[in-house]
Amino acid sequence: MSQALDTGIKNAKNVLHYTFGQGTVRSLSDMIENRRHINNGYAVYFVDQYFEGNVDFIKLLSISDDDELIFISTGHEPTTKLINSIKEKLTGKKLNNPSTIIGCGGGIVMDVAKAVANLLTNDGNAEDYQGWDLVKNQGIYKIAVPTLSGTGAEATRTCVMTNKKSGLKLGMNSDYTVYDQVILDPDLTKTVPRNQYFYTGMDAYIHCIESLNGSYRNAIGDAFSQQTITLCREIFASDDMMTDESRSKMMVASYLGGCAIATSYVGIIHPFSAGLSVVLGLHHCMANCIVMRAMEEFYPTEYKDFWQMAAKQNVEIPSGICDGLSDEQFDALYASTVIHEKPLINALGENFKVILTKKKVKQIFSKM
């Protein structure tokens, strides 16, 4: 391994509290009640639209008449426009100072909850805080209840958003973005469609292979990454990735993968995935898996492992995504990829643009 470079991360922050195990979602009620005396006492819930109309699930969340429930569509990834509109809605209803914000869903919903929690205590718009350590004030106290495993959104210090005007897909990278409490209940992932379970779970694996193959390294990030990869290989090399045991392991892998990436950087896969999301509107986790079609050159061992695991679980990875694209679309894909300098420097060095020329980037996308 080449000499590790300094990540610049000196004082890492993790989730303050977490609870793990089957049925632990039932502890959410007490957590919220213990905070009712703070601010105006009400809570704001962000819940995956998948659960709208699911009366039994909504009952588990212990929503009172004074609370605000907002269902979040996961058809598209979060935009700065969406976050701004939610802030305006809550402010207009005088619900901009809740005691607690709850994010219940996958990475999209948890990121929306984190972004809104920050924006309610900081002036301006969401796009003003896309970057590193731009958030100045502590956000609203927030609780994550993941119903998908893999993105690590429950553990990371960022919440990713796309600014459609600038084409920038970037998060609010800040200690203030970290959840205060996480409830890790593997029972909540029982109904996830198999393909989606694989795509999302692979986000944890991909985070960590990029980190371990990068130049910006540290011992703690490496330890989190190595354990995450070990768990992912156990899960996806097993006969069934969705048994109770596998779903429990996946929830742990997701959390640890989020902790890993909080102290390190991703590599080549995520910038190309971001390009697919910004230009073609593909969901992040599926886009990661599609990018793996073109990664043998950069991650040969992990490339082989990925396709073996996909075959073992009989999961379909879309292909031909970039067939027939125009030169303008390829130009947009190039711009939306190389804008992510830190990950690409991590993977390829300061002169990454010498390697990732427009021609080379087009060749890579054409394999997808």
**Cα gap 193→4, rounded to integer Å:** 39
> Which one-letter DSSP state was computed for residue 167?
T
Strands, sheet with 160-163, edge to edge from the N-terminal-most edge strand: 131-132, 168-173, 160-163
Helices within the chain (DSSP H only) = 28-33, 55-60, 80-92, 107-119, 194-212, 219-236, 244-262, 269-280, 284-291, 300-312, 327-338, 341-348, 352-355, 358-366
Per-residue b or e along 68-84, where b marks 16 or more CB atoms closer than 10 Å to that residue's CB: bebbbebeebbbbbbbb
**Cα gap 192→215, rounded to integer Å:** 35
Query: What pLDDT score was predicted for residue 125?
Result: 97
CA distances from 43 to 89, 142, 146, 202, 250 (A): 15, 10, 18, 32, 29
Contacts of 366 (CB under 8 A, 6+ apart): 322
Contacts of 185 (CB under 8 A, 6+ apart): 20, 21, 22, 23, 24, 25, 145, 251
Give residue for tokens 């991590």: 346
Question: Is 356 in contact with 275 (CB distance < 8 Å)?
Answer: no
Crossing angle of helices 269-280 and 358-366, rounded to 10°: 80
State the amino acid at position 42 in one-letter form.
Y
Q: Report the greatest alpha carbon distance in the chain.
A: 59
**Cα gap 297→29, rounded to integer Å:** 49
With vertex at residue 296, the alpha carbon angle to CA 291 and CA 302, rounded to the nearest 5 degrees, is 85
Can you read off the two tokens belonging to residue 125? Answer: 């718009």
Give residue for tokens 């779970």: 201
Rg (CA), the chain: 20
Can you read off the two tokens belonging to residue 34? Answer: 């213990």
State the amino acid at position 167 in one-letter form.
G
Count of C-beta atoms within a 10 Å radius of residue 124: 11
* Dihedral of alpha carbons 148, 151, 156, 160, sign: negative
Query: What pLDDT score was predicted for residue 6?
Result: 62
Q: Which domains does the chain have, with CATH numbers?
A: 17-189 (3.40.50.1970), 194-366 (1.20.1090.10)
Question: Is 272 in contact with 233 (CB distance < 8 Å)?
Answer: no
Can you read off the two tokens belonging to residue 137? Answer: 């004030």
Query: φ and ψ at 104, to 5 degrees?
Result: -120, 105
CA distances from 137 to 54, 78, 121, 183 (A): 36, 22, 6, 25
Strand partners, 5: 216
Query: What pLDDT score was predicted for residue 1?
Result: 41
State the amino acid at position 134 in one-letter form.
L
Q: Provide the residue-wise pLDDT of the chain in tens; the chain has 368 residues.
A: 445 656 666 677 889 899 999 999 999 999 999 999 988 899 999 999 999 999 999 999 999 999 999 999 998 889 999 999 999 999 999 999 999 999 999 999 999 999 999 999 999 999 999 998 999 999 999 999 999 999 999 999 999 999 988 878 889 999 999 999 999 999 999 999 999 999 999 999 999 999 999 998 888 999 999 999 999 999 999 999 999 999 999 999 999 999 998 888 899 999 999 999 999 999 999 999 999 999 999 999 999 999 999 999 999 999 999 999 999 999 999 999 999 999 999 999 999 999 999 999 999 999 99
Query: φ and ψ at 74, to 5 degrees?
Result: -110, 20
